[in-house]
Structures are given as structure tokens and as C-alpha cells.
Amino acid sequence: MISLTAVDVLEKTTQETFMKNYKRDELPVVMKDITQGWRATKLWSLEYFERLAGEKEVKLYGTNSSRDKTMLYGEQTSMKIKKYFDLLRSGENDLRMFFFEILKEIPELQHDFEFPEIGLKFFKKLPTMFFGGKGAKVQMHFDIDCADIFLCHFGGKKKVMLFAPDQTPFMYHVPYSFSSLYDIDYRVPDYEKYPALKHLNGYETTLHHGDVLYIPPGWWHYIEYEEMGYSMALRALPRKPKNIYTMMKNVFWTRKVETFMRKKQGSKWTDKNEKLAVTNIE
Ligand SMILES: O=C(O)CCC(=O)C(=O)O
């Protein structure tokens, strides 16, 4: 088993504790009290979203990697929200709504939450939502924009595994992507095939309705929906020169090269980089 430490949990969060103990050292933490008093904790449910936007068409993404000429998180399908929610209710465990932009799609939702006064400057134009059914998984990845992320969770439980950026040498990072190798099972790691995983040290937590998980910039995360649920990510864009540089490089170089080469070479490009993920570590 991969060595995992439980993420700290704060029942009462103050700006001082958050900034001094977590933001400064870039460590994850779960905050239990941030969403107290938000309308979201009481109102948000599939039925509520459906009333507001059931007729809206949304893109849905599956767990499997896209190996063709599209981007890594290849679009799988699209359908009306109400149809997707019916699938969730009947046990759909693969298709997820991913990076659903609240202000663009259901602006009414902005009245149901607040940006926490915690010492971070949140990027208020980009609260996003993620939905998944019981059993859905989000591949191990890190976020391209090096943001501080507050993942505010609602609905059923979900498990999150996290690794600091200094663990990257053991992660089988696929070059030009923001993910590790698809076929690694972090719950039952195959040490014969992927021996570097033995060196990993990470963190783990289970999120419940109303919990907020702080994901520091550049941290790897892998998510398993133990029950149907939905989360909202609030993000503060990087301010440290090193993180601004990494964000620029990711957005304007790495992603552009990946998109261009995928269009040109398709699965040949992916196959080559997946092999490199292994040989680079060796
Ligand atoms: O909660 C989810 O489904 C995905 C969240 C995520 O991966 C992210 O915010 O980067």
C-alpha cells in the first residue's frame, strides 16, 4: 500500500491558522466550518439544479483516457442536465460533469455561497463545479494554473488522495500532460511494473457534505466518488513568481505543444509519452 497520512481537519478555521499552518507551508487541510450558513449546504441537490437548468446541454467526460486527436480529457458525450441526473440516480458511475462554469451556466448559484475571508485573493470569475456518481473516479492529475484550490464538497462522500509536487519524480508523470499514467491503480499499486511508487508519501481524506478541502498549488490529486456528489472549486490564481512562471509555461507552452502534437500524431504521440513516463523514472 502507498504510504498515506490523514489530512488535518479544522473544526474552527481562522485566517491566522490557515495562513500560518497550511498556506505558508503549502499543506492540504479540510475545513469543516467554512460553508456553515451558506444557502448551498441546505439548497443544493440534483432537484434544485434541475429546476434551474435541467434543459441545459452539458458535456460529460468518462474515466478512460482519450487516445485520439482530442485533448487528454476528451469529450465523451453531451446531453441535457436532467437526463444526466436521471442517469446518476440510476447508478451511472463513469460519466462526470467537469469544470462546469457556474457564472456562465447557472449564474443564480452565485447567491448560494461566499468567497471565504481567509487571506487569499479568489478569482471570482471562475467558480466551477464537478459532478460524479457512486464509483466515479478522477484520474491522478495536477491543475494547470498552479492555483490555490478550495474544493467545497456537497452530497455523498468522496475520497481524495494527494501528493505534493516534490513527489513528482515517483509519479510516472506523462510528459506534456498534467496526469500520471492511466493504468496505475493507486489503491493496489503494481510495484513490479511501477517500482517507483514504493517511494511515494502522500495524504488522504474523505470529504463529507459541507467540507472544504484546501489543495495547494501544483499538488497531485486522485478522487474516488464513494457516493454520488458534487463539488465546487474556488480558486486563487498564483502570486508567487515561481508559480506564475509555471502557470504561464503550462498554459502557453506545454498545453499548446500537447494539443498540436495530438492533432498531428494522435495515439502515436500518447504512446511515446507514456513510454517516456516509465523510462524517465528508470
Ligand atoms: O471533484 C472532482 O470531481 C474533480 C476536482 C478536480 O480534479 C479539480 O478541482 O482539479
Q: Which atom of ligand 1 is nearest to 130's Cα?
A: 3
- Do residues 10 and 33 make contact, with C-beta atoms less than 8 angstroms apart? yes
Q: Which atom of ligand 1 is nearest to 231's Cα?
A: 1
Q: Give per-residue pLDDT as tens, 139-149.
A: 999 999 999 99
For residue 79, report the distance from its CA to the centre of ligand 1, in Å: 21
Q: Which atom of ligand 1 is nearest to 153's Cα?
A: 1
Q: What domains, with CATH codes, occur in the chain?
A: 3-281 (2.60.120.650)
For residue 173, report the distance from its CA to the centre of ligand 1, in Å: 18
Taking CA atoms only, the protein residue closest to ligand 1 atom 9 is: 233
Q: In terms of Cα–Cα distance, which of 121, 167, 173, 169 is closest to 147?
A: 121
pTM, entire model: 0.94
Q: Give per-residue pLDDT as tens, 82-126.
A: 999 999 999 988 899 999 999 999 999 999 999 999 999 999 999
- Burial profile 70-86: b = 16 or more Cβ within 10 angstroms, e = fewer: eebbeeeeeeebeebbe
Rg of the chain over CA atoms, in angstroms?
19
Neighbouring-strand partners of residue 141: 179, 221
